[in-house]
Amino acid sequence: MQTNFENKVTETYERALRRGELYFIESTIANITENDIEFEIRFAPSLAKKPTAEHTEESPTKHKVVDPFAPYSQELFVQEFEHHVILLNKFCVVPNHILVVTKEYEEQSNSLNQEDLATVWYCMMQIKSQNTIAFYNCGNNSGSSQPHKHVQVIPLPSDVRFSPPINAIIYKHQNKMPGEIFSFSELPYVHYVALLDPQQLSGHHGHNYKEIVSQYLTKNYLSLVNAMTEGFRASSLTGSFSYNFLMTHTWIMIVPRSSEKYEQISVNSLGFAGMLLVKREEELEFVKNVGLLRVLEGVAVSKDKDQLIDNIHISV
Ligand code: B4P
């Protein structure tokens, strides 16, 4: 049964689509298997025509970039919270793709805070008819195109066993202690994962539920951020860097980034969920030829020590 929130998302989506205020981008899925994981490559040719930045009409010569989230389109508005608004994604590849946007402008390179995670988790919990994944493209090399802080939540198909595809590896490590940080030998790039404790996330905390759960999520998110920061410090290099953060109902993952693109392929957080998006036939062929893990390794930080140093130099 759909919750009020889910109904509002669906109604707003259908109305905005009907009125031409939102674009559903048609795509096809190709699967490729590497290291026993069946990855998904989404091919969305019409996205290649999407403009990459919006400019103000009054001063086109100055190329002032418009913030699409302030003011946001009322047609895409779903719900307001104390610190956030929930909007529908104007250019979605899957229906009901929502954005959790800060009301006050904040940089997309900032860390997530407890309020961000509380709102994102609320949205994920309210979408009951499908599983969801939340993601945060943090920093210039993360695949983000909008600098106003926003976390995204997309519904996942319920009929696919490993959805998102990266679950194929995560399910092999269900014996890990919740909160323990680990990584997978199958993946060639630096990443940090932790399982979430179902007991901590259950609804048995009474009226303090939101506070307790968001504290728990923040603690786990920050421990991944700290593990990543320590990894960089261990190589005696400092500086801010970009990363992708992923969260499902059962695990969280962080992947430091060295660059936005590998050759022509731009990768955002969903690439590391095992769901890469490509916009041109040549890109699809390129990924199939070079290998998807090679593409991901190319935009992340290779586990290879020498490359780790090189990549960190690029990203600071
Ligand atoms: P960012 O964090 O800045 O970047 P992004 O998700 O990589 O999206 P990008 O804009 O680079 O789009 P792309 O063509 O690569 O997110 C900004 C968000 O704001 C995006 O969701 C964007 O669509 C949205 N937005 C922009 N203008 C808006 C407006 N005026 N009002 C409301 N929302 C606005 O990818 C296109 C879409 O496909 C993205 O949403 C992307 O997240 C999604 N996608 C990528 N891989 C996918 C996959 N495997 N499966 C399903 N969806 C996928």
Q: Helices marked H in 186-266 — which ranges?
A: 198-201, 209-234
Q: Could you report the per-residue pLDDT of 175-221, keeping only the tens digit for each? A: 999 999 999 999 999 999 999 999 999 876 677 888 999 999 999 99
- Alpha carbon 314 to its chain's center: 22
Other residues' Cβ atoms within 10 Å of the Cβ of residue 109: 16
For residue 145, which atom of ligand 1 is closest to its CA?
3
Q: Tell me the average pLDDT across 266-271.
A: 98
Question: Ligand 1, residues 65, 150, 268: which to mutate, most atoms within 8 A of Cβ?
Answer: 268
For residue 276, which atom of ligand 1 is closest to its CA?
49
Q: Could you report the per-residue pLDDT of 48-98, keeping only the tens digit for each? A: 887 665 444 444 444 567 999 999 999 999 999 999 999 999 999 999 999
Q: Which amino acid is at 286?
A: F
Query: If you average pLDDT over every residue of the chain, what do you get?
Result: 90
Ligand 1 pocket by Cβ (under 6 Å) = 42, 47, 50, 68, 73, 76, 87, 89-94, 99, 137, 143-146, 152, 154, 268, 270, 275, 277
Please report, for the chain, the start and end positions of each structural domain, with discontinuous segments joined by +. 4-315
Judged by average pLDDT, the poorest of 29-43, 134-148, 226-240, 249-263 is: 226-240
Q: Quick one: pLDDT at residue 313?
A: 41
CB-CB contact of 74 with 152 (8 Å): no
Distance 89 CA to ligand 1 centre (A): 7
Which of the residues are catalytic? 150
Distance 230 CA to ligand 1 centre (A): 30
Q: Is the peptide bond before 157 cis (omega within 30 degrees of 0)?
A: no
Q: Quick one: pLDDT at residue 3?
A: 87
- Asked: is 4-315 a CATH 3.10.20.440 domain? The reply is no
What residues contact residue 209 under an 8 Å CB cut-off, 6+ apart? 203
Judged by average pLDDT, the poorest of 156-160, 238-242, 274-278 is: 238-242
Q: Tell me the average pLDDT across 235-256.
A: 85
